[in-house]
Structure 1
Amino acid sequence: MFSFGLDGQAFGRVRFCISPLWTVARVLAHARRSDARGYRAACRDTLRGGNLPLLASLYLGEPGYIPDFFSPHPEAYEAELTAELHQVASTPADRIRAEFAVMTRGRQGAVIPARRLPTSVARVLDRGEDTLREGVAAELEQFWRLCLSARWARMRAAMDADIARRAQQSAQQGVASTLGDLHPTISLTDDRLTVMSPFRARVQAPDGVVLMPSPVGTRVDVVLDPTPLPGQYRPILLYPASTADRGPRTSHRGSGEILGASRALLLADLAQPRSTTELARRHDFTPSTVSYHLGVLARAGLVTRFRRQRHVLYQRTHRAEPLLAAAVAATAGRADA
């Protein structure tokens, strides 16, 4: 589990961003999977083609940490690809050395296992950090041109739509609701933002965190600066962008198993935040029964949980709307029959 401490000022510094090269990194990470299909399989074939030796040796070789300078830390809401490539090509030599040291030695506190330096990378690095960083930038640009440039407009639209929806949610329901609704594995309690994970790290984030929607993948990736260098990068959370055409994560075919009469009743009453005790009183359930149903709904991503002062509150997410509408329609259909 990752836990980020956010005081009042840090909470105000939480921000969203869109990054072409972070999208490239996410695509590259998925392209290495044996079950890659469609354009991800095509991306894997591009890596295997022999023209991108640095990227291929790192992403298709031994699994493990990839140096962070491949995808520069975002400083603005949206960076231009050319600006990010320039950042890669001008990465300070001490950061390159520090990140490759993390890769080859590992880091226990950051849960990074050691991996060998690929031969193709070592040969270029022997010629100097400037040769390596320029080579990496050139290969990233080529991979972008071959695999992502034709898809970027659609990907960017999906990320823009996600951020716009969350901005509206923040205005209507508060930032806490938005943070709790990013993904079922993310929750906000008091002053800590928590991401469920098999890894464990408890980090203070005085400068907030960067939230980055991704049009690729279904899980949350947490990125921490693993180097001891001064001026530590703020944590990054990459989460799957939520778009209208994706629909909810839970199919309508299984909605009956998830909702049922009791859960549909509770879900319908969660347009505004309510506590377990309040829901139990309003619907004549025991608190333990309400708690059980809310747990099922939370694991399905249909409600979000957050703390307000001493009270833990629940509120339904946007993913619940289609299922709730389907449940209401089914009930009306049975009544008309």
Structure 2
Amino acid sequence: MFSELVFSADDLALTRFAVSPMWQVVTSFRLLASGAANPVHRPWIDQVRPRVAAARLDSGSLAELIPATAYLPDFLTPSPGEPTPTLDTELAVIRATPADQVLADLDMLGCTGPHCQALRADPEARLARVTEEIELYWELALAPYWAKIRVVLDADVFHRARQVAEHGAGHFFNDLHSTVSWDDNTLRMVRKHCGISRETTGPGLLLIPSAFAGGMLTWSRPPEPPQFAYPARGTGTLWEHRPIPRIDAIAGVLGRSRSVILAELEAPASTTELARRTGISPAGVSQHLSALRDAGLVSAHRAGRSVLYARTTIAESLLAATA
């Protein structure tokens, strides 16, 4: 099936990018639900899947609402009103979704599970429960890695925007994905399901990079602009083991122990795990982590009974400069 989206000058003028936390939620959860042994995301899957299972999120509302293939309910990915909305902003929009939209999306999904039935019976109350699940999933699966993910997403947007500025929209669209092509002011897509056209969408276009999408995903609900979620460039390097930075370069500022701890946070880790790796006592690691957190270099995220620490974007930039 081919879909065609015709662009006027106004549509091109209204085309923009956004980095959406909820698109990362639905595409990453779908990847976990698929059970695929994805070679690119295997390090992330191996760390996250046991946490998600322990929290029973693999059998909750999200498991019914985000199937491994086919349709994704539109209300889970509301149209971002700004370039970089926070998760809280998007969850507030989800909680305010009109009941008739929720029911229409559930009809399209064709879900008959108990969680979907409960959502159908009382959309307002159950949407609050769904967003609570999303918050828990975010803390377990995405928040500890968000600094790394944001670097990839922001770099993709910068690259695509530069393509438009230097070569025009046609070059940009033709390079976006193998299923997409641009010709004569028309964007054409190869689609298995859910055809899309300008008659069934609002004006413009909203482009959203995803670190976890395996292909192009579309969203259309007039009068909002259509959304295209596409695989971000650089995802293949997201979980690669990086060279250990030159600790001596930052040890004079942070101290050697804190520099070693920061370097060890290539993947999120608990105080106990960091103590085992570095040989520093758990009490010492805890003290250093508190100082690093106060300085904005690490963030803390609860995962069940443990707390995982992760490097922030500031720390990632600092270590990149010394690698």
Report if aligned partners of 2:196, 2:220 keep a CA contact under 8 Å in 1: no
Matched position secondary structure for 1:181: helix
Which residue of structure 2 aligns with residue 222 of structure 1? 218
- 1:207 is aligned to 203
Matched letter for residue 182 of structure 1: L
SS at match of 2:144: coil
In structure 2, what residue type is equivalent to 1:123?
A: A
Q: How does 1:1-337 map to 2 (within 5 A)?
A: 1-36=2-37, 37-49=42-54, 51-52=56-57, 53-59=60-66, 64-104=70-110, 116-126=111-121, 128-199=122-193, 201-204=195-198, 205=201, 207-225=203-221, 231-243=222-234, 246=237
Gaps of 5+ in 1: 105-115, 226-230, 248-337
- 3-state SS of 2:34 partner: coil
Measure, in 1, the Cα distance between the counterparts of 2:44 and 2:176.
Answer: 26
Greater percentage in helix: 2
Residues in 2 aligned to 1:171 and 1:48: alpha-carbon distance in whole angstroms:
45
TM-score by length of 2: 0.64
Looking at structure 2, the residues matched to 177 and 47 of structure 1 have their Cα atoms a distance apart, in angstroms, of 40
Judging changes above 3 Å, is the alpha-carbon distance between structure 1 residues 141 and 178 closer, same or farther for their aligned structure 2 residues? same
Contact preservation (8 Å) 1:6, 1:206: no
Looking at structure 2, the residues matched to 149 and 77 of structure 1 have their Cα atoms a distance apart, in angstroms, of 19
Deviation sequence 1:177-229 (CA, Å, 0-9, x none): 1122112221110121012233472501551211111112442222233xxxx
In structure 1, C-alpha distance between the alignment counterparts of 2:55 and 2:116, rounded to whole Å:
14
Deviation readout 1:96-135 (Å, 9 max, x if unpaired): 122222223xxxxxxxxxxx32113313543x21111101
Q: Percent identity?
A: 26
1:63 Cα deviation from its structure 2 partner: 5.1
Aligned-residue offset at 1:54: 0.8
C-alpha contact 2:106 2:120 (8 A) present in aligned 1: no
Structure-1 separation of matches of 2:112 and 2:80? 26
| SS of structure 1 residue aligned to 2:208 | strand
Output the CA distance in 2 between the equivalents of 1:143 and 1:244.
21
**Cα separation, partners in 2 of 1:58 and 1:97, compared to 1, 3 Å:** closer
TM-score by length of 1: 0.62
1:117 match: secondary structure: coil
CA deviation vs aligned residue, 1:229-248 (integer Å, no higher than 9, x gap): xx44322111111139759x
Q: Which has the larger radius of gyration?
A: 1
CA distance in 2, matches of 1:90, 1:206: 21
Per-residue deviation, 1:58? 3.2
Taking the aligned partners of 2:75 and 2:133, their CA distance within structure 1 comes to: 14
Distance 2:150 2:210 in 1: 9
- 1:224–1:149 distance in 2 versus 1, CA, 3 Å: same
